[in-house]
Amino acid sequence: MFAQFNRSDRRLLLAILAVIVVLILWNIPQLDFILYPFRLFVTYVHESGHGTAALISGGRFLGFEIFSNGSGQAITAGGSRWLILPAGYLGAALFGSILFYLNNRFHRSRVLAVAIGIGLIVYSVLFGRIALLSLIVGSAFGIGLVALGWKANEYLNSFFLNILALLTGLNAVLDVYYLVGDSSASLGSVQNDAAAFSRDVFALPAAFWALLWSLIAIGMLGVAIWYGVIRPMRRGTTS
C-alpha cells in the first residue's frame, strides 16, 4: 500500500494512523489494559521531569517512585521550585512534543528509538532504582525501544514512536487539565503540583496554574505537529 506514496507522504499517513489508534484506545474501555503500561510510562516521564528540573536548577534528584495506580512522586532536594513543580506535566508534554517532531521531521526513527531506549535504561538505573516498579517501567520501555530500533523497519519504528509521543504528550495535557476541576487532589500527604505551586511559589489559585500549564502543553504539541508534519507537507518536502 505504501509503495505508491513518497517518503514524506508515508510518514504523514503513519502519523494520521497513530492518531486514529490513540483515539480508539482512549474510547474503548475494554482496551484499557493496553493503555495501562503507557499510563505508567507517562508517570515515569512526569516524575523524571521534576527530577531533571531539580538538577538543572542546582538541586539534587534522589530518585522517584511509580505506583501501580498510575501516580508517582519524585524525591528532590534544593533547586528552584519555580522550575521543579511545573516540570512534571510540562516535562511530559515537552517530551511527547519533541519526540513527535524529531520522529516526523528527520526520518531517523530507528536511531531515535535506540537512543531513547538507551537513555531510559541509564536514567532508570540512576534514579528509578529506589522503587522496583520505577526501575521495571523505565527498563522495560528502554529495552523494548532498543529492540524495536534494532530489529524493526523504519516505518514500524516511526509508527510506534508517534503513538508513544501522542500518548505521552496528550495524557500530560489531560492530566493537568483535570487539575483545573480538582486542584486540591493529593496523594496521601503529597499535594498535586498545581496546589503546591500555589502554596510555595505564587499564591494564585491552583486552578489558575493548572489551566496555564494545560495551555502551555497544548501549545507545545501544536508547535510539534505544525513543524513536524503540517509545515513540511505544505512546502511539499519529499526528504
What pLDDT, in 10s, does the model give residues 100-141?
A: 999 998 889 999 999 999 999 999 999 998 899 999 999 999
Cα 185 to Cα 160: distance, rounded to the nearest angstrom? 33
- Does 239 reside within a domain? no
- Does 59 reside within a domain? yes
pTM, to two decimals = 0.90
Query: Cell for 229?
Result: 508534519
- Which domain covers residue 61, as residue numbers? 2-232
Cα 239 to Cα 236: distance, rounded to the nearest angstrom? 9
- Does 237 reside within a domain? no
- Does 60 reside within a domain? yes
**Per-residue pLDDT, 4:** 56
pLDDT tens column, 94-105: 999 999 999 998
pLDDT tens column, 33-80: 999 999 999 999 999 999 999 999 999 999 999 999 988 999 999 999
**Per-residue pLDDT, 109:** 94
- Does 87 reside within a domain? yes
How many domains, the chain?
Answer: 1
Contacts of 115 (CB under 8 A, 6+ apart): none
